[in-house]
Structure 1
Amino acid sequence: MMEEKKQGLSLMSIIRRIYDIIATLIIALAAIVAVLWICGIRPYAVISGSMEPAIHVGSVCIVDQHASFKDVAKNDIIAFKAGSDTLVTHRAVSITPDGIVTKGDANNTEDSALVTDENFVGRTVFSIPKIGYIIRFVHTRRGLITAAAVLAAFILFGAAVSEKKEKKKK
């Protein structure tokens, strides 16, 4: 019986430590995202294959919105608005006095419209494969509900573990 209690205690302490590690990682990630957001760094999910193989569908592009339009160089990957609500990430293939000529790496032709200071969003700093799928899912109704449910379950689980710890102290 005493041995069972020891195993239960060690299992509970392992679960509590795992919970603490996950909670710490979530808080650290949130802090990093907040600092990057304040610094003008924004994530954008990639939904087309126009930049394959450099940037895959489902990746997330990390874009520096404080990048200067004047500092864009040939071969930089930039983000810009095409139309009123479409964000495009393509490579700068040439810089002209009228604007920047862009082209998706997988496309056969250059983009028809020039990127100007008015529609320039920023320079892509790097991309992270597959994370874009998660971001796109969370931006749906089902994804938002799922994320809220997982977060609520995580918080409730943490409260239950904490309550059990308090009862053992008494």
Structure 2
Amino acid sequence: MEATLTRIADWPQVQQKIKRIAFEIAEDNYDEPEIIVAGICRNTEGYAMAVKIYDVLKEIVQTKVVLTHIELDKSRPADSPVEMSLSDSDINGKVIILVDDVSNSGRTLLYAMKPFLEHHPKKIQMAVLVERTHKMFPVQPDYVGLSLSTTIQEHITVVISRAGEEGIYLS
């Protein structure tokens, strides 16, 4: 049986939420010399969102903004290596903005923090487009585009990287 998708936000609404998140990040970090935007898993919607936030930040801040990615197995993060493309000196004392499309249980965001914790960043903040209220891990995003109360059986899908299909969907 095919799940019915209900669009709960279209592309202009998603763009506005991403822009608002970027402005909030800029406001909260106005005095920082550098901001590192780290998207979770290249070739996913989380990384696509990180790219969009990075693009907006580059337009609105004088601060140096760096884009990177974290690679991990989202279905089994505890059993997979977490890889990052930055070195210790790139992270030491810097502000990290960890970005994913949806925060469900908080597990992926928690494991994605691991490589940063080993390298002494100044602070780690999290940005998600959609925050669900089914936390199993003590993770609370700092920047949220949309908070949704859904049932455990419902699924949120974010589409940013496929032209013509962009939006937030509930199934």
**Which bracket does the TM-score occupy, shorter chain normalised?**
under 0.3
Q: TM-score scaled to structure 2, two decimals?
A: 0.22
| Larger RCO, structures 1/2 (Cα 8 Å, 6+ apart) | 2
Q: Identify the structure with the greater strand proportion.
A: 2
Q: TM-score scaled to structure 1, two decimals?
A: 0.22
Q: Identify the structure with the greater helix proportion.
A: 1
